[in-house]
Amino acid sequence: METTTIKNSDIIIGQKPEGIEGAGFFATSLDKVVGMARKNSIWPLPFATSCCGIEFMATMGSHYDLARFGAERLSFSPRQADLLMVMGTIAKKMGPILRQVYEQMAEPRWVLSVGACASSGGIFDTYSVLQGIDRIIPVDVYVPGCPPRPEQIIDGILKIQHLVQTESLRRRDSPEYKAMLNQYGIE
Amino acid sequence: MEETVTEEKIVAVIRENFPSEVISVESPYGFLTVNLKAGKIIDIIKFLYDKEKYQYLTTICGIHYPESKTIQVMYQLHKLTENKRIRLKIALPEEKPSVPTLTNVFPAANWMERETYDFFGVIFEGHPNLIRILNVEDMIIFPMRKEYPLEDQTREDKNNDMFGR
Amino acid sequence: MADNYNTSLLSDIPEKEEKQYSYLNLGPTHPATHGIFQNVLKMDGEIIMDAVPTIGYIHRAFEKLAERRPFYQITTITDRMNYCSSPINNFGWHMTVEKLLKIEIPKRVQYLRVIIMELARISDHIICNTIIGQDVGATTGFLYLFQYRERIYEIYEEICGARLTTNMGRVGGLERNFTDKTWEKLDGFLKDFPPAFEEFSALLERNRIFMDRTINCGPISAERALAYSFSGPNLRAAGVDYDVRVMNPYSSYEEFDFIVPIGTQGDTYDRFMVRQKEMWESVSIIKQAIEKIKKEPSHIYRADAPEYVLPPKEEVYNNMEALIYQFKNIMGETDIPKGEVYHAVEGGNGELGFYLISDGGRTPYRLHFRRPCFIFYQAYPEMIKGRMLSDAIITMSSMNVIAGELDS
């Protein structure tokens, strides 16, 4: 992708999508613009349950700053969030609540599973821990680690951003997506 | 030497006021442990609270011994003014473990007893709200008993030959 | 759950007024609860009449998991209990096992442990106090002091390689000696943290708005606190000076000179101030420990008990005896004594106790964690009755309830 730079310097301001440029206009396809806008303004919902939540707090802090990727406004209300970040162990008691939060989110929505416990149950192979949140909700990106370093969490966010940018505008209405949601029993 | 004299002193006081309730006394690693009969345990603890000033409840926990078919309940008390600790253990039968509640003496025992009920099935009579606290409410087994496995047996992605040694 | 509509209000002149209470679910997922536990509040407008807490949303069955693991593998689960100050949990567990196995720990190792435990305490109290600030509305302190938590994490990385869930140390000592880089980073931290902490204190401690918000908010008297078996900063804020480091000293704490700050009313402001003062005391203890370490021979970092303490890897690869001991230790062929032992350490939240029953096998027969958060959270409904909702939020964050410790 071409990049736009400030004159006489090599600082990259943004990545320009392919399109036709002229004096005072820039023509490109709608999904590229929408993808670019969505990717740089994701509103995450931090569903922090345990130790990975503390690493998330460190990621939001000023040293590793997640806000520079556009995720400045953390939303704790699922109705206003785009990205559900599940960080920490999900016990079977918590499962229905996670499911309810996921169902309250509006499309398009993405799910990032941070940490080993959310991805697969982690070190807790016990009777009370859900062995991975993908048993109850569909997950887009998994970030392994126990807990993952803030750089890994940011890497996960960057992969989500890539998914957001390259997603087709019709994906959420397509029959494959609906079939996948039906597998989980989500309407 | 002085230590054992004062420690034995509290056991002597218990024996004096509650004859034939003490089964045995030992001090593993310097911690006075008294095994008692389960009948008058609450009266003994109330006595220790009022007269001997053991007014801090450190913890309550359950221990399951399947060979002798008992579930022991362990109470640990602490006398903060003189820094003396004591551990009281009672043994209850496995089929119907039941003992009166300690919440009238120590409000802190409320959740500790619920946890012991949740894990071992010990019924604390007179408890204001004896329901499960940590596990899901509709669980029917008492998971910390030795006969139940650690892992959820219905999981299909982990192989019991590799995991679950 | 709501009451039936009172039909007397439909008449022209109401004969008596009936109060209608509303029920608010301060649910498991809530930005202000810092962990997942639920409270159903019965409210009369903005005033709270009653509260019913529900916990267990992160129950991971630590006590059952511990019955399956050998002693050195249990360290990884202890550090997921109070994950804000994991080294304290790790060392508490190691000290319990050392008590069972009757291993004598050299002085230098004890001083090193004290340094790490006090750093962990500072790290835990930073989270608690900055989050109290954030809940009241002052986010600056959180962003500012978290930079110093990153410095503490860098010190942990030099010692054990991990940031948060440290799995630090081994039964009998530490896994490696402190490197020069560690001492350098520690000195840098001790130089840079006090001025920054002074700035944070100046921001909140005598701030009119903060004091108005937090004084008399969620108080508890000393008698009720003792009845509910409080411990740690929450109990000291109520006026009782019970600190496990002073009452049952472990790891050479009796040689250190520090004060134990106590409060008067047990309200949020007292809890905040007790933690502030404790952080200053921790800095002083670390400085004293560094002075004491200079007098000890600098190569010691483990105890000399080869049956139980893993030998260093260089010796394992070169020396036959060390190889045999390594094998016996890992495979569980050493003789573990039978017995029951209880050891308590002063965790970030209070008396963290480990009750271990061993039957001679390589895994414990029963391991019970005496978790301070679980015990003092019972008093929460009593502390917020008659207060407003926003006071309830600050009371919860000032008690420093950590979900991992609440639900084992």
Residues of B in contact with A128 (CB under 8 A): 134-136, 143
Nearest residue to C275 via CA among C238, C242, C237:
C237
Mean pLDDT of C356-366: 91
* Those residues with Cβ within 8 angstroms of residue C51's Cβ, 6 or more apart along the chain or in another chain: C39, C40, C41, C42, C380, C381, C384, C385, C392
* Those residues with Cβ within 8 angstroms of residue B159's Cβ, 6 or more apart along the chain or in another chain: none
Residue C108 predicted with pLDDT over 70: yes
A131 lies in some domain: yes
User: Under a CB-based contact definition with an 8 Å cutoff, are residues A145 and A115 in contact?
Assistant: yes
d(CA C29, CA A47): 7
Q: Tell me what pLDDT residue C256 has.
A: 94
Mean pLDDT of C392-398: 90
Least CA distance to C242: which residue of chain B? B80
> What are the beta bridge partners of residue C188?
none
Least CA distance to A122: which residue of chain B? B158
User: Under a CB-based contact definition with an 8 Å cutoff, are residues C276 and C205 in contact?
Assistant: yes
Least CA distance to A75: which residue of chain C? C31
Q: How far is A152 from chain C (nearest CA, A)?
A: 13
Q: Tell me what pLDDT residue C271 has.
A: 94
Residue C15 predicted with pLDDT over 70: no
Residue C280 predicted with pLDDT over 70: yes
A73 lies in some domain: yes
d(CA C277, CA C259): 9
Q: Tell me what pLDDT residue C333 has.
A: 79
Q: Tell me what pLDDT residue C62 has.
A: 92
Residues of B in contact with C378 (CB under 8 A): 107-108, 110-111
User: In 10 A of CB A174, how many CB atoms?
Assistant: 11
Q: Which two tokens stand for residue A172?
A: 């959420």
d(CA C315, CA C176): 13
Provide the percentage of residues in chain B whose pLDDT is more than 90.
54
Backbone dihedral angles phi then psi of residue C339, each to the nearest 5 degrees: 160, 175
d(CA C332, CA C326): 10
d(CA B144, CA B115): 11
d(CA A173, CA A170): 6
Q: Tell me what pLDDT residue C157 has.
A: 93
pLDDT band (50, 70, 90) for residue A1 = low
Subunit partners of chain C (3 or more CB pairs within 8 A): A, B
Residue C243 predicted with pLDDT over 90: yes
A48 lies in some domain: yes
Q: How far is A91 from chain B (nearest CA, A)?
A: 9
User: Under a CB-based contact definition with an 8 Å cutoff, are residues C238 and C231 in contact?
Assistant: no
Query: Does C146 sit within 8 Å of A61, measured CB to CB?
Result: yes
Least confident of A11-15, B11-15, B18-22, B73-77: A11-15
Residues of C in contact with B149 (CB under 8 A): none
Q: How far apart are the first and last CA of chain A?
A: 37
Nearest residue to C171 via CA among C77, C116, C97, C113:
C97
Query: Does B157 sit within 8 Å of A125, measured CB to CB?
Result: no
Residues of A in contact with C153 (CB under 8 A): 58
For the stretch A51-98, pLDDT in tens is: 898 899 899 888 898 888 888 888 888 999 999 999 999 999 999 999
Least CA distance to B142: which residue of chain A? A127
Q: How far is A127 from chain B (nearest CA, A)?
A: 4
Cα B122 to chain centroid distance, Å, stands at 10
A65 lies in some domain: yes
**Element holding C393 (H helix, E strand):** helix C389-398
CATH of the domain at A159: 3.40.50.12280
For the stretch A102-112, pLDDT in tens is: 999 998 899 99
Residue B150 predicted with pLDDT over 90: no
User: Under a CB-based contact definition with an 8 Å cutoff, are residues C355 and B59 in contact?
Assistant: yes
**Residue in the structure block whose two tokens are 């999904």:** A31
A1 lies in some domain: no
C351-359 sheet: strands from edge to edge = C338-346, C351-359, C366-370
Nearest-Å Rg of the Cα atoms of chain C is 24
Cα A90 to chain centroid distance, Å, stands at 18
> For residue A110, what are the CA distances in angstroms to A103, A161, A169, C365?
12, 10, 14, 44
Q: How far is C155 from chain B (nearest CA, A)?
A: 34
Residue B157 predicted with pLDDT over 80: no
Residue C22 predicted with pLDDT over 50: yes
User: Can you tell me whether residue B134 is helix, strand or coil?
Assistant: coil
Residue C13 predicted with pLDDT over 60: no
A142 lies in some domain: yes
Q: Which two tokens stand for residue C343?
A: 């050891």
Residue B2 predicted with pLDDT over 50: no
Residues of A in contact with C90 (CB under 8 A): none
Query: Does A128 sit within 8 Å of B151, measured CB to CB?
Result: no
Dihedral over Cα of B46, B48, B52, B58: its sign: negative
Of C56, C340, C366, which has the smallest distance from its Cβ to B133's Cβ? C56
Provide the percentage of residues in chain A whose pLDDT is more than 90.
47
Residue C87 predicted with pLDDT over 70: yes
Residue C38 predicted with pLDDT over 80: yes
Least CA distance to B30: which residue of chain C? C341
Q: Tell me what pLDDT residue B3 has.
A: 45
Is the omega angle on the peptide bond into residue A147 within 30 degrees of 0, that is, cis? Answer: yes
Query: Residues of C at the B interface (Cβ-Cβ below 8 Å)?
Result: 55-56, 59, 61, 63-65, 67-68, 99-100, 226-229, 240, 242, 247-248, 339-342, 344, 351, 353, 355, 357, 365-366, 368, 370, 374-375, 377-379, 407-408
Residue C195 predicted with pLDDT over 70: yes
Mean pLDDT of chain C: 89
A76 lies in some domain: yes
Query: Does C375 sit within 8 Å of B108, measured CB to CB?
Result: yes
User: Under a CB-based contact definition with an 8 Å cutoff, are residues C68 and C257 in contact?
Assistant: no
pLDDT band (50, 70, 90) for residue B119 = very high
HSE of C198, CA atoms in CB hemisphere, 13 A: 5
**H helix intervals, C137-179:** 140-159
| B151 at interface of A, judged by CB pairs closer than 8 A | yes
Query: Does B111 sit within 8 Å of C247, measured CB to CB?
Result: no
Q: How far is B153 from chain A (nearest CA, A)?
A: 8
B70-79 sheet: strands from edge to edge = B22-26, B33-36, B84-93, B70-79, B56-65
- Residue A6 CB-density burial (10 A; 0-12 exposed, 13-18 middle, 19+ buried): exposed
A32 lies in some domain: no
Query: Does B29 sit within 8 Å of C56, measured CB to CB?
Result: no
**Total domains, chain A:** 1
Q: Tell me what pLDDT residue A186 has.
A: 83
> For residue B84, what are the CA distances in angstroms to B10, B31, B32, B75, C63?
10, 9, 9, 14, 27
Residue B79 predicted with pLDDT over 50: yes
pLDDT band (50, 70, 90) for residue B18 = confident
Least CA distance to C142: which residue of chain A? A61
Least CA distance to B58: which residue of chain C? C229
Q: Which domain holds residue A165?
A: 43-184
User: In 10 A of CB C213, how many CB atoms?
Assistant: 20
Query: Does A127 sit within 8 Å of B136, measured CB to CB?
Result: no
User: Under a CB-based contact definition with an 8 Å cutoff, are residues C28 and C37 in contact?
Assistant: yes
Domains and their CATH numbers in chain B: 2-125 (3.30.460.80)
Q: How far is A171 from chain B (nearest CA, A)?
A: 29
Domains and their CATH numbers in chain C: 7-54 (no CATH), 62-406 (1.10.645.10)
Dihedral over Cα of C272, C276, C281, C282: its sign: positive
Q: What is the DSSP letter of C206?
A: T
Q: How far is C194 from chain A (nearest CA, A)?
A: 19
Q: Tell me what pLDDT residue A3 has.
A: 64
Q: Which two tokens stand for residue C214?
A: 């937090």
Interface test with A, best of C37, C60, C157 (most A CBs within 10 A): C60
